[in-house]
Amino acid sequence: MAIRKIAQIGHPVLRQRAREVTRDELASPAMQQFIDDLVETMRDANGAGLAAIQIYEPIRICAIEVRNNPRYPYKPEIPLTILVNPVLTPVGDETFENNEGCLSVPNLRGTVRRFVHLHVTAWDRHGAPIEETVHGLKAGTYQHEVDHLDGTIFVDRVADPRTFTTWTEFERFHRDAFVEQATALVARVGS
Ligand code: ZN
């Protein structure tokens, strides 16, 4: 396994639409090795998720995992999930304000509106079908990662640029209010 370099905002790779992965490609040792690298890179950088495009492979794969995350200590845990060719469909039109950061956007967080309920179809890393409905902060993480596969970065979706903060100033001035709001959301809809 290897830790890969993470593309930073401004690099054109992050603005591509990633292409679908075929079943044959997914089954190849090279692709399985790539997925191991994606997971290792995400964990090394303390990400809650990482899309293949962020490590310079414009293909529709992303990894998601939340486990005692120091970048997002208030996030409910998500077991390691690999989504291949994911398709997200909002369930209902309810939205919430999520405060997001990104490994491709150094030292910036901002408030993004996300759907509360999502239907997800994808393959897992072995090509088995995934079909689930996710809610709340977990749904926010899924939307952030799948956005990357379409060349969209969270900053594109920040409606009010006055919500941008550095990580330090988020901790100092905004964290408590957001955690209170996020905790209420988790209590209401689950993760
Ligand atoms: Zn990101």
Written as tens digits, the pLDDT of the chain (191 aa) is 799 999 999 999 999 999 999 999 999 999 999 999 999 999 999 999 999 999 999 999 999 999 888 777 778 889 999 999 999 999 999 999 999 999 999 999 999 999 999 999 999 999 999 999 999 999 999 999 999 999 999 999 999 999 999 999 999 999 999 999 999 998 899 87
Q: Which residues are paired to 105 by β-bridges?
A: 102
Residue boundaries of the structural domains of the chain: 12-189
Residue 188 Cα, ligand 1 centroid: separation in angstroms? 26
Q: What is the DSSP letter of 69?
A: -
Element (H, E) at 178: helix 175-189
- List strands edge to edge, sheet with 129-135: 49-51, 61-66, 78-90, 117-123, 129-135
Q: What is the pLDDT of residue 105?
A: 98
Protein residues near ligand 1, an ion, with CB under 5 A: 102
As given in the structure block, the two tokens for residue 35 are: 């997925």
Q: What is the pLDDT of residue 28?
A: 98
Residues with catalytic roles: 145
Residue 101 Cα, ligand 1 centroid: separation in angstroms? 7
Phi, psi of 16 (to 5 degrees): -85, 160
Q: What is the pLDDT of residue 74?
A: 77
Q: How far apart are CA 32 and CA 25, in angstroms?
A: 9
> 5 near 56, Cβ under 8 Å?
yes
Q: How far apart are CA 88 and CA 91, in angstroms?
A: 9
What tens digit of pLDDT does each residue of 158-173 get? Answer: 999 999 999 999 999 9
As given in the structure block, the two tokens for residue 18 are: 């990633």
Residue 155 Cα, ligand 1 centroid: separation in angstroms? 10
* Top CATH class, 12-189: alpha beta
**Nearest CA among 127, 134, 34, 125 for reference residue 81:** 125
C-alpha angle 118/132/121, rounded to 5°?
A: 80
